[in-house]
Amino acid sequence: MEVSSAKQYEAGSYDVIVVGAGHAGSEAALAAARMGNRTLLVTISLEMVAFMPCNPSLGGPAKGIVVREIDALGGQMGKNIDQTYVQMRMLNTGKGPAVRALRAQADKHAYHRQMKLTIEQEPNLTLRQATVDDLIVEDGVCCGVITNTGARYRAKAVVLTVGTAARGKIIIGELQYESGPNNSKAAVKLSEALERLGFELERFKTGTPPRVNGNTIDYAATEEQPGDETPHHFSFDTPDSAYLPVKDQLSCWLTYTNPAVHDLIRANLDRAPMFSGLIEGVGPRYCPSIEDKVVRFADKDRHQLFLEPEGRDTDEYYVDGLSTSFPEEIQQQLLHQIKGLEHVEMMRPGYAIEYDVVAPHQLHPTLETKLIKNLYTAGQTNGTSGYEEAAGQGLIAGINAGRRALGLAPFVLKRSDAYIGVMIDDLVTKGTKEPYRLLTSRAEYRLILRHDNADLRLMAMGHALGLVSDERLAAMEAKKATVAAEIKRLATVRLKPGSAADEFIQAHGDHALKDSLTAAALLKRPYVSYDQLLEFIPVPATPLDRQAKEQVEIQLKYEGYIKKEEVKVNRLKRMEAKKIPANIDYDQIDGLATEGRQKLAKIRPETLAQASRISGVNPADLAILSVYIQHH
């Protein structure tokens, strides 16, 4: 079949163009449009807007906090999942507040429809189906895109969020074919255009498990995992009254692999593309395929599998933990060896997908490319894995593209501001050799970057950007004032020896009070909750809501640790203030170690703090660089 090209035509001008409408592209386009920019969102298929081609869920450790941060800054993901979830659970409730994580099971089709409708109804935003084949670049500045239909769209800034469609290739056993996620079209020409422009592209891989018919699962042989009774939300705007009772939520179901499954995998490794050499892309460390798990953790005789509903209007279930690229027939045999799935019908096989990534050391912290001005990239295109990581980057790229179009200064989140700041700094400073996933361990300031305080950290920034309304900001400020007033009050209320509070203290194995104790000091003890404290002291004039109570409790219980982190943050801010000139020539600086010189020249950090985080740059290099900056 002969392939012909469309004749090109001038199709109009926009302030911002976003390419790809996945989780990154949706946030980027909405942010740019809401800031007052005429925005065009171009995507290969309108059926794939904010689609979940892998796990039908959002949140979890670190990632759930990112969704809260997106919401606090004025993004859409939190609101969208609050309208379309089928189950909510708070994870790590037995641990400290720094690692607590909200996770929602999504109705993936409702999630897509709701986000598409939000985009369609946004006044400054135009949604268009087409494949972007090329960029319009003049004198090193990106000023538009060219689609497969011949349309030439002009813009002041362009954001690429192409994801796994970038020269995507699906692999199932010996079968390989060109494809984007979920059998959508691949974007081949755009990758070729980026290479022509001089970008360094890497090849990554990710995978997905088979989907099975829920009517053929033996649920009695599995363990039910219901949602939580306590109301939870990702958006700070969602009221507790909107929370679904557990009886209206859909359960997940837990089962396990077993030695028979593992034996079958080992016997067929010659047909696993990961081990036969068919897959060249680097896979995600924290989301390995089942064949990888069995080989790497040979001592484990079972691995958890969660059977997750894909939505209310479908019986498809996602087999979480069984990501694989084995041939279809072996996938069916594996499923039938698993407890509860002995007679299950596989509806879609799992697959691996290889795709192109823009090596992220080629980006500024604004997510603008260093090579081409006014061109931004976000999402899996930058080497991350996960919907939440993509959406967080999309929001920042959209904000910065929008601000560039409006002639405003760029916006950058620091590592001490948000997990989004940690992620972007990791990408642009350290790069990544595998799909990057956010983990709480990547953040130095975990106790400051919590799930519960994302609004207190970021909402004022969102308001200054024009993405958060006056009403939202006022509600956050009122909450902040309520919490501060209650903490102040608790420091003045005293509990006397021999009181009911003293008896409560002794009942918990503590010594009797010798002197009076403030209510604030009692609340700092691990066995006392705020509601228990109110049994011994007068209630505040205006009772606190659940979120304000939680703030009072966390801020008092962890006060000492939080203050220590704040000291570290202030030290970091002083280093962040030491800017490195953009045109610095590292060859002119005497005394730098060879590796340090090479790394600094490649990554070109913008501050001394960023330079300090580059692997291979030692403290002596930093001292020399600091002196050089002061004198030049």
Q: Annotated binding residues, as ranges?
A: 20-25, 283-297
| 582 alpha-carbon distance from chain centroid | 30
Phi, psi of 104, rounded to the nearest 5 degrees? -120, 135
What does the alpha-carbon distance between residue 337 and residue 123 come to, in Å, rounded to a whole number?
A: 53
- Specify binding-site residues for NAD(+): 283-297
Phi, psi of 35, rounded to the nearest 5 degrees? -85, 0
What does the alpha-carbon distance between residue 307 and residue 206 come to, in Å, rounded to a whole number?
A: 20
Closest CA to 383 of 292, 485, 307, 285: 285
Q: List the beta strands (DSSP E) in 388-532.
A: 494-495, 517-518
- Tokens linked to 627: 């002196």
Residue with tokens 């000023």: 143
Closest CA to 181 of 55, 282, 53: 53
Residues contacting residue 32 through CB under 8 Å, at least 6 positions apart: 15, 16, 18, 39, 157, 159, 398, 399, 401, 402, 405
| 253 alpha-carbon distance from chain centroid | 25
Q: Is residue 628 a contact partner of residue 579, using CB atoms and an 8 Å limit?
A: no
What does the alpha-carbon distance between residue 40 and residue 16 come to, in Å, rounded to a whole number?
A: 6
Element (H, E) at 132: strand 132-138
From residue 331, alpha-carbon distances to 91, 281, 325, 482 in Å are 30, 21, 8, 56
Which amino acid appears at position 277 of this protein?
A: G
Residues contacting residue 296 through CB under 8 Å, at least 6 positions apart: 288
Which amino acid appears at position 525 of this protein?
A: R
- Residue 430: CB atoms within 10 A of its CB come to 15
- Specify binding-site residues for FAD: 20-25
What does the alpha-carbon distance between residue 442 and residue 538 come to, in Å, rounded to a whole number?
A: 42
Instruction: Report the sign of the C-alpha dihedral through residues 52, 54, 59, 63, in that order.
Output: negative
